[in-house]
Structure 1
Amino acid sequence: MAQRTPSLPLHCTDLAGAVLPPASIGLPTNGALVMSAAMIPATATGNLNGDFCRLTGVIRAQSAGTPDIRFEVNLPSQWNHRALQFGGGGYSGVVVTGTGPMPFSPERAPLARGYATFGDDSGHNGTSSEANFGLLEEAVTNFGFAHLKKAHDVALALIERGYGQAPEHVYFGGGSTGGREGYTVIQRYPDDYDGVIANSPALNFSGVRLTGVVVGRHEYRTPGGYLSPQLLERVYERVMQVCDTLDGAADAIISDVEACRAKEPEIIDSLRCQNEDQADRRHVGDDCLTPPQVATLETLRDGLRLPYALAWNVDSYRGYNVFEGTRLTSTLGLAHSPQRQTQPAFAPNGYLYAQGDAYLKYFITHDPNFDSTNFDVTHPGRYRERLFTLSATIGAMNPDVSRYIARGGKLITLQGLADEVISPNQTIAYYQALVGRYGEERVDSFMRLYMVPGYQHGNGVFIPSVDLLGALDDWVSHGNAPETLFATDIAQATNGRTRPLCRYPAFPRYLGKGNLNLATSFTCAMP
């Protein structure tokens, strides 16, 4: 298709004060209001996006006391006739402006590349770690899925007003919570999007939060179950000693995760305390694992199994690659404080536990003083129905994406195999469920899954940088389905080295010769 002539926004400043009635938005609201409209010149301080029209506004909530959804829409002067919705992170709470780069991409921001961009705060004000909005039902529904549709419809209406025409293609891009949102729009609003980038997706949201509660109980309620940062680092170092070279390269990256998994019993045995005095110790900082400490790590490895079903018959959450290269001493890993704090926080008490604790307090029990270490997730009692409802609202586990496939929608997902926040095995399990439902050929027609060795949740020994948006747009616009991609490492210690991004289940294997820092020295091998 020939590129149309770029067009300036027609009515930028005139859009200030524009009102969109409730009927123009596909879900119930009290309408939307554009509160500001301004042309941002290319010469403005800090602006790397060229001339663009910046619109900010609110989508009015229906329930008294529920925050409005705050949004931003950006209309570039040099428009490429495409629109991109940005996803949020954590519990959101801050407007995603859409003016920055895509996750994992070093290239110019989409806005600078001609995309009309938009984002929102998911319907509440706060930081990405604050969960107290869970006390408000409309805010929970907005966070789970509704803000995506509401912001989409408002943005598309404003784009059409600004340019006098609708975009040719509409995309969604996000990671973590934004990744879950990407799967959410595919499942709930398949007609609204032509392509989605959904990285490190927080699928099975209730499952990951309950897993955090279970791990927290092992750390803080089971005598001796806590692991110090020194001991967690000892586990990581032992795994590296056994598994680093299984892919042919001594590069501090465990690429052949399945071969490493086969050595897991050997790794655990080598880390166990070998005499009774060690096994009975109660202090931290030693270099071996007591039985309660092994149990804590095995709980994280094994994940969650429930004797009841959540929405879409989900009754489990897949465990983490604890003994395959996941570094649990990261900021988002397990606890960094010897004792549980009165108010659990990420760094002292561990991301998974702190988030699970907040989820129980605000979303499930509606009791800010609730003690999550007393909560038995396998026997939730009167909270079981609430868990089911929330899993339907936030979970994004519906396996029926037939409408999205049928209309030609495309999906790219990238995630780290060493992710310590969102289990990579849960993402793989959803992908495998799609293959089981639709067959590999049909899934290949719309989806690409790239699992990245050494990459955690925004950190790691390998942090990929790759133009996924360019790959998605080429697939949607020209039918060029991406295969092996090439990523540049932006981790500080190894910045600039490259590796192939292999389509799951393949992984990068060293060819046995050539520069370890060059992707051309590796091939994509099957486990």
Structure 2
Amino acid sequence: MRSRGRRGRVIGDSRAAIRFLGAILWLAAHPALAAPNEAPLALRCAEFAGAVLPPELIALPTAGAQIESAAMIGATAPGNQQGGEYCRITGRIKGLTPTTPDIRFDLNLPRRWNGRALQIGGGGYNGVVVSGTGVMPFSPNRAPLAQGYATFGDDSGHVGDSSLAVFGLVDEAVVNFGYAHLKKTHDAVLALIARAYGRPPQRMYFAGGSTGGREGYTVMQRYPDDYDGVIANSPALNFSGVRLLGVKLGRAEYAAPGGFIPPLLLEHVYQRTLAVCDRLDGAADGIVSDVAACREHEAEIIESLRCAGRAPSHDDCLTDAQLSTLLVMRDGLSLPYKLAWDVTGYSGYNIFQGAHLTGMLGLGHQPERLPMPTFFANGYLFAQGDGYLRYFVARDASFDSLRFDPQHPGKYRAQLIALSQTIGAMNTDLTRYIERGGKLITLHGLADEVISPNQTIAYYDALVDRFGSDQVNGFMRLYMVPGFQHGSGAFIPSVDLLSALDNWVTHGASPETLTAVDIAAATNGRSRPLCRYPLFPRYSGKGNLNLASSFVCAEP
């Protein structure tokens, strides 16, 4: 028999009902936590400290969860910028084996609850607990917690900064990072929320970017009954693909003679692209908005950059070897074998359409490859790909990634395929999520230098091929942002996606063209329309270039 969940929704998995019964039995066995629901939140908050949640409350296998701390944070407490009291709970979810790191999580319960919960994703390789207390990235409004959302996040099941991949040596930790931490944390937190407020959330949302964007697509694909809406920005959907491309790029930079490109030359590439393409949208504003029109000039741009008989200089032309490095990134990766969900490669980047490769997340700044590559010295994509090969694929810290050919992985092929199933969100079967009425908003920068915007577009196109444009339009909004990189760029959008998502889910008000305010330091305050893909903002020919009202959303 199917049970009814939040808002009377039908939950098809009978295991949900079993877990709900388990929660009731757990509360019955803990009289302190079964106090009347009318008790003040402060009293209920303190009761959680030291509590143990049994494994039965979590759908995936664990050894249960331990609440480490639970305390009310006063409205006037130092560092509390939320505008009100909230209960802060910290805890750990135990792995099945002693060598598996705990999944550490934080949960914030506002005294004035709006009946909604928001799970927040991480970034890179995670490793740091997402506190859930701050403002969402690129959002102009108050923090979700201050708006009344119960917020929570975790560290995905290991400790370390977002560049460290050492946990790849531990099988259960890899599964946790790939997808399991999302479900385990969700289920543990849901029981705590239901106890604290006397009822489960009316709406459960997920929001994240980059790795957190991949996590957003992951929960729709793997746990569609658990979420009403998802914000998944700059999503690392094809996680294995981007890591393998990073290795191929590193080989071009550091294994091929003359392949390294100094930052001054990378800046020259960017400035040449702007000179040709900036005005194609009608506005000289430092943003390449008409990417399709710019792509028609690509051959011209490349030839103007080529040394072609001229003596190579450090800042005005590129050798064939250096151009080959850029073309690796532009062309992406094509594989002669299939990863999970029939993936055969990774889409290339908009190298000659506005991507800026001189920053911390761009290409390398040093001509020699370090024994342990770093983001700044050897480039973000290569450093991350190198770590992925060492710890996830070869499981050998001394492995030399420059000797590895992603197109011919040899004995590592089976491991690559298995990993792409565990860590990746390329499955286009969102049938259940769509049937339940789930909504999705994705924002991605067309100048992203870390996660290819063309991979996100390719996934969107695959959804249209599978479900048809009408059905995709009924549940998804895709906004591709000109000039926006991976958290930086010529245009950094600030827009309230959470309110747009909640209005769509709750009131059926589907978002169309939105207005984004630029928070880049040099151009802070100007605005542009945030156009639904495939439209882009074109200057109308009159009006202030700094105002969104002077632009229209145009067909490419």
Match of 1:515 among 544, 549, 556: 544
Partner of 1:260: 294
Amino acid at match of 2:72: M
The question of 1:225 aligning with 2:259 is answered yes
Match of 2:107 among 73, 81, 86: 73
The question of 1:182 aligning with 2:211 is answered no
The question of 1:161 aligning with 2:195 is answered yes
Q: Which runs of 5+ in 2 are unaligned?
A: 1-6, 8-37
Whether contact under 8 Å (1:465, 1:487) holds in the other structure is yes
**Corresponding residue SS for 1:141:** helix
Partner of 2:373: 344
**Corresponding residue SS for 2:97:** coil
Partner of 1:106: 140
CA distance in 2, matches of 1:118, 1:239: 42
Amino acid at match of 2:220: I
Query: How much has 1:322 moved relative to structure 2?
Result: 0.2
The question of 1:82 aligning with 2:111 is answered no
CA distance in 1, matches of 2:326, 2:468: 35
Amino acid at match of 1:28: P
CA distance in 2, matches of 1:162, 1:232: 54
Whether contact under 8 Å (1:8, 1:79) holds in the other structure is no
Query: How much has 1:63 moved relative to structure 2?
Result: 1.4
Partner of 2:328: 299
Q: 1:294 to 1:154 in 2, by over 3 A?
A: same
The question of 1:64 aligning with 2:81 is answered no
The question of 1:38 aligning with 2:77 is answered no
Whether contact under 8 Å (1:7, 1:79) holds in the other structure is no
Query: How much has 1:274 moved relative to structure 2?
Result: 2.5
Match of 2:346 among 310, 317, 325: 317
CA deviation string 1:218-245 (max 9, x = no partner): 0001111110000000000000000000
CA distance in 2, matches of 1:41, 1:454: 41
Partner of 1:327: 356
The question of 1:29 aligning with 2:62 is answered yes
Misfit runs of 4+, over 3 Å: none
Amino acid at match of 1:300: M
CA distance in 2, matches of 1:175, 1:130: 18
CA distance in 1, matches of 2:482, 2:72: 43
Whether contact under 8 Å (2:441, 2:477) holds in the other structure is yes
CA distance in 2, matches of 1:8, 1:418: 49
Partner of 1:197: 231
**Corresponding residue SS for 1:237:** helix
Q: Which residues of 2 match residues 457-476 of structure 1 at below 5 A?
A: 457-476=486-505
**Corresponding residue SS for 1:397:** coil
Query: How much has 1:136 moved relative to structure 2?
Result: 0.3
Whether contact under 8 Å (1:8, 1:76) holds in the other structure is no
Partner of 2:434: 405
Query: How much has 1:8 moved relative to structure 2?
Result: 5.6
CA distance in 1, matches of 2:374, 2:316: 26
CA distance in 2, matches of 1:387, 1:403: 28
Whether contact under 8 Å (1:36, 1:57) holds in the other structure is yes
Q: Which residues of 2 match residues 364-513 of structure 1 at below 5 A?
A: 364-513=393-542
Whether contact under 8 Å (1:227, 1:293) holds in the other structure is yes
CA deviation string 1:369-409 (max 9, x = no partner): 11100001111011000000000001111110000000000
CA distance in 2, matches of 1:461, 1:98: 28
TM-score by length of 2: 0.92
Partner of 1:211: 245
**Corresponding residue SS for 1:182:** helix
CA distance in 2, matches of 1:338, 1:493: 30
Partner of 2:50: 17
**Corresponding residue SS for 1:34:** strand
Amino acid at match of 1:217: R
CA distance in 2, matches of 1:371, 1:152: 38
Whether contact under 8 Å (1:8, 1:163) holds in the other structure is no
**Corresponding residue SS for 1:12:** helix
Number of equivalenced pairs: 518
**Corresponding residue SS for 1:155:** helix
CA distance in 1, matches of 2:115, 2:299: 54
Partner of 2:31: none
Identical columns (%): 68
TM-score by length of 1: 0.97
CA distance in 2, matches of 1:58, 1:314: 35
Whether contact under 8 Å (1:213, 1:372) holds in the other structure is yes
Partner of 1:241: 275
Amino acid at match of 2:411: R
CA distance in 1, matches of 2:465, 2:57: 38
Q: Which runs of 5+ in 1 are unaligned?
A: none
Query: How much has 1:286 moved relative to structure 2?
Result: 3.5
CA deviation string 1:51-81 (max 9, x = no partner): 0000001001111211010001110000000
Whether contact under 8 Å (1:8, 1:78) holds in the other structure is no
CA deviation string 1:80-127 (max 9, x = no partner): 000000000110001001101112102100000000000000000011
Amino acid at match of 1:436: D
CA distance in 2, matches of 1:504, 1:216: 32
CA distance in 2, matches of 1:492, 1:268: 30
Whether contact under 8 Å (1:7, 1:78) holds in the other structure is no
**Corresponding residue SS for 2:44:** coil
Q: 1:25 to 1:263 in 2, by over 3 A?
A: same
Partner of 1:135: 169
RMSD, matched Cα: 1.2
